[in-house]
Amino acid sequence: MVRDCMREGSVFGVVLIAAGVEAGGPVERTAPVGTSARIIDFFPLPDGLLGIYCLGARKFRLLERRQRSDGLNLGKVLWLPEEPAVELPAHFERLGRLMSRVLPELGELYEAVEKRLDDAAWVSYRLAEILPVSLADKQDWLELDDPLERLALIDPLIRRDAT
C-alpha cells in the first residue's frame, strides 16, 4: 500500500481499530469515521522498516470494509463535507496562541501544514492530534462536525498557565 501510494501520489484511509489487531491480523470492528492521509515523506528505521510522515486530508464515513488475502483492509467511503473555516472566538484565542508556540517545537512534522491559527476547525484538529489523550477521545472529537463544540471539550484539558 505504501509503495502504491508513494508511486501514484494517492491517499489511504486511517480508521481507529475498535476490536481486533492492527498488523496483518483480523480486524473485527473499526470506528465509523476516519480520515484520508497522504504520505509526504519517508525514512528508514533502525529495524529496517520504513517510517512515513503523513498529512491528514478529508474525513469520511466508512460504509463497507473488506480484507484482502494479504491482510490489507479496503473500504468504501462516503466523503464528509469539509468543515468551513470558523473564526476562533475570543474565549478560545488562548488556544490559538498556544498552537503558535507549540508548532515550532514539534519540528519538521508540521512544516508542511498550512497554519491557520485564527480558524477554530484548524486549531481544534491540531490540538486533537497532539494532546496526550485516549484514542477514544480523539475519535469522539474527530466525529464532531462543530469545531466550537470540539474546542469546548478540549479547552478544560489545557492548563491556563500553559497558554
Any idea where the domains of the chain sit in the sequence? Answer: 2-79, 90-162
Mean predicted confidence (pLDDT) in 112-141? 92
Who's near 105: CB < 8 A, 6+ residues apart?
none
Least confident of 10-19, 93-102, 125-134, 142-151: 10-19
Instruction: Please give the DSSP secondary-structure letter assigned to residue 60.
Output: E
CA distance 131 to 125: 10
Q: What is the pLDDT of residue 137?
A: 95
Query: Tell me: domain 90-162, CATH 1.10.4060.10, correct?
Result: yes
pTM of the entire predicted model:
0.83
Q: Identify the H or E element spanning 95.
A: helix 93-102
Homologous superfamily, domain 2-79: LON domain-like (2.30.130.40)
- pLDDT, mean over the chain: 89
The closest alpha carbon to 82, from 141, 127, 147, belongs to 147
* Residue ranges with strand state E in the chain: 12-14, 17-20, 27-30, 33-44, 50-67, 73-79
Which residue, 46, 52, 48, is CA-closest to 4? Answer: 52
